[in-house]
A and B are shown apart, each in its own frame.
Chain A
């Protein structure tokens, strides 16, 4: 299957995205912010439809919109109680706007489907380069904030007392999430970003109790699921996104069984 250019590009793109999604997703799960990730992906849908409407590449709209939304969520602050409501409001506002964009630009059902469910086989060289650069930047940023991010995720009040700027760390993190979500949307679509961001991370936390091992495992599982999904799609001719979600679900439920055994 590696004889085809589009397959090689698909493997590279999904590999890059899976590692990023696995790593970023781990912190999303650790911080209990999966709903924020979910909302960002839907905001991304609006961004992408808007970009297409104005003749821009969808990825630009995805990234631009989600990063601004991530910034806004971070600025809203840490208060858990208000967080879900505020995020939910932003989510519906964005989706409403997305609907409006679709209303003005009706002739693009195929592109909408690609946005919703991903189109990894359609990744060209230009898109691949963009994915790689964005992923490298996000991973560098994630590495830079890793220490305070972990501390603030586990012990927010102590971290604040020790000098961690909670709002700064949380905002930068949500912007990184925004980029990871945008990348994920290219592979599995905005509706299925959970499958690469949350599934592997949650499974990793069930497989091991050690922080560093869990982080590495989350990336590895995401990578295995993405490549496994591509391979299965190649031989079965079923959609890649379906296979990735199936593998992700399988691994997650297996991890629950294993966690119960070892408890």
Chain B
């Protein structure tokens, strides 16, 4: 049984084909990096796996069952972090809101549920942070709380949409290492989307690359290579390997690059999603 299986999946949004004939399987406990330019469909792919996007063709199976909304064993960290950055409420209450959050009634927590929250906070070492209010912690700290919220319900598949956004290299490494540890300790399959492969190189088992409506899953060396990427970008791509790092070049433009960290560091960790990449127009 695969953690996530795409079977000849096609997705159309607003009349445009985002994905066609996507066919791949992510195995149990596997850590997969999801890459692709802005608009390549990383978010759409995750939302489709959550049953939030209708399929034009094919089928998606999650942990052996058809993808549906509200699957109890799937954790999710959306790219859009919502309004929490401005709220003067504790991180604990934010994490707690996800416990049985889809059930009707008053939000009361029993002892077991409180233990579950403590466990999820401990897994990402966020107990201390959770006592502070959401508008007084850094973007990286909020990210850790969201990661811990994604662990509520003990997922077997974790969909993390751009957890590295607006983090500096040290914090990026910290997040990647934490997710790697979670994946191994708890045997969780992880899809981890990012704009740059390098921060993920030490952690990922395979890479899922999206582009030109196609999805290719394979070993890093196979996928991040001139011929495959040229096909996905629809342009001549050259892959350079320098000192254990990978540079994806089209002519003299670097296709994958984390612009956020160069521009902003992590002063307060707002999500600079719209600053995104110059490469979009060329991709």
Q: 0/1 per residue, A184-223, Cβ < 8 Å to B?
A: 0000000000000000000001100111101000000000
A-B contact pairs, 29 of them (CB 8 A): A143-B106, A146-B106, A147-B102, A148-B104, A150-B107, A151-B98, A154-B87, A154-B97, A155-B84, A155-B98, A158-B77, A158-B82, A158-B98, A159-B98, A160-B52, A161-B69, A162-B69, A162-B76, A162-B98, A163-B69, A209-B88, A209-B89, A209-B90, A210-B89, A210-B93, A211-B93, A212-B93, A259-B88, A263-B136
B84 touches A159 (CB 8 A): no
A209 touches B83 (CB 8 A): no
Q: Is B220 an interface residue (CB 8 A)?
A: no
Contact A210:B90 (CB < 8 A) given known A144-B104, A150-B107? yes
A residues touching B (Cβ–Cβ < 8 Å)?
Answer: 30, 32, 143-148, 150-164, 205-206, 209-212, 214, 259, 263
Q: Which of B70, B82, B97 contacts A161 (CB 8 A)?
A: B70
A145 touches B104 (CB 8 A): yes
Q: What residues on B are CB-neighbors of A210 within 8 Å?
A: 89-90, 93
A157 touches B82 (CB 8 A): yes
Q: What residues on A are CB-neighbors of B70 within 8 Å?
A: 161-163
Q: Is B60 an interface residue (CB 8 A)?
A: no
Q: Which are the 8 A-B pairs with shortest beta-carbon distances?
A: A163-B70, A151-B101, A157-B78, A211-B93, A163-B102, A161-B50, A209-B133, A147-B107
Q: What residues on A are CB-neighbors of B97 within 8 Å?
A: 150-151, 154-155, 211
Q: What residues on A are CB-neighbors of B59 within 8 Å?
A: none
CA gap between A143 and B105 in the complex, in Å: 6
CA gap between A212 and B47 in the complex, in Å: 31
Q: What residues on B are CB-neighbors of A30 within 8 Å?
A: 87
Q: What residues on A are CB-neighbors of B78 within 8 Å?
A: 155, 157-158, 161
For chain B, residues 60 to 99, give those with C-beta under 8 angstroms from any C-beta of chain A. 69-70, 74, 76-78, 80, 82-84, 87-90, 93-94, 96-98
CB distance from A260 to the nearest CB of B (A): 11
A159 touches B102 (CB 8 A): yes
Nearest A residue (CB) for B100: A147
For chain B, residues 28 to 81, give those with C-beta under 8 angstroms from any C-beta of chain A. 47, 50, 52, 69-70, 74, 76-78, 80
Q: What residues on B are CB-neighbors of A160 within 8 Å?
A: 52, 69
For chain B, residues 92 to 126, give those with C-beta under 8 angstroms from any C-beta of chain A. 93-94, 96-98, 100-107
Given A147-B101, A161-B74, A210-B93, 14 new contacts (CB under 8 A): A146-B105, A146-B107, A148-B103, A151-B97, A154-B83, A155-B84, A155-B97, A157-B78, A158-B76, A162-B69, A162-B102, A205-B88, A211-B89, A211-B96
CA gap between A152 and B82 in the complex, in Å: 10
Q: Is B149 an interface residue (CB 8 A)?
A: yes
Q: What residues on B are CB-neighbors of A164 within 8 Å?
A: 101-102
CA gap between A263 and B69 in the complex, in Å: 39
CA gap between A227 and B101 in the complex, in Å: 35
Q: Which of B80, B84, B107, B150 has the most CB of A within 10 A?
A: B107
Q: What residues on A are CB-neighbors of B52 within 8 Å?
A: 160-161
Q: What residues on A are CB-neighbors of B98 within 8 Å?
A: 151, 155, 158-159, 162
For chain B, residues 209 to 249, give those with C-beta under 8 angstroms from any C-beta of chain A. none
Q: What residues on B are CB-neighbors of A158 within 8 Å?
A: 76-78, 82, 98, 149-150
CB distance from A263 to the nearest CB of B (A): 7
Contact A154:B106 (CB < 8 A) given known A160-B52, A209-B89, A210-B93? no
Q: What residues on A are CB-neighbors of B84 within 8 Å?
A: 154-155
A155 touches B102 (CB 8 A): no
CB distance from A78 to the nearest CB of B (A): 11
CB distance from A16 to the nearest CB of B (A): 20
Q: What residues on A are CB-neighbors of B103 within 8 Å?
A: 147-148
CB distance from A106 to the nearest CB of B (A): 45
B88 touches A156 (CB 8 A): no
CA gap between A150 and B101 in the complex, in Å: 8
Q: What residues on B are CB-neighbors of A163 within 8 Å?
A: 69-70, 102
Nearest B residue (CB) for A163: B70
B89 touches A147 (CB 8 A): no
Nearest A residue (CB) for B50: A161
CA gap between A169 and B45 in the complex, in Å: 26
CA gap between A160 and B136 in the complex, in Å: 26
Q: Which of A144, A146, A154, A206 contacts B94 (CB 8 A)?
A: A154
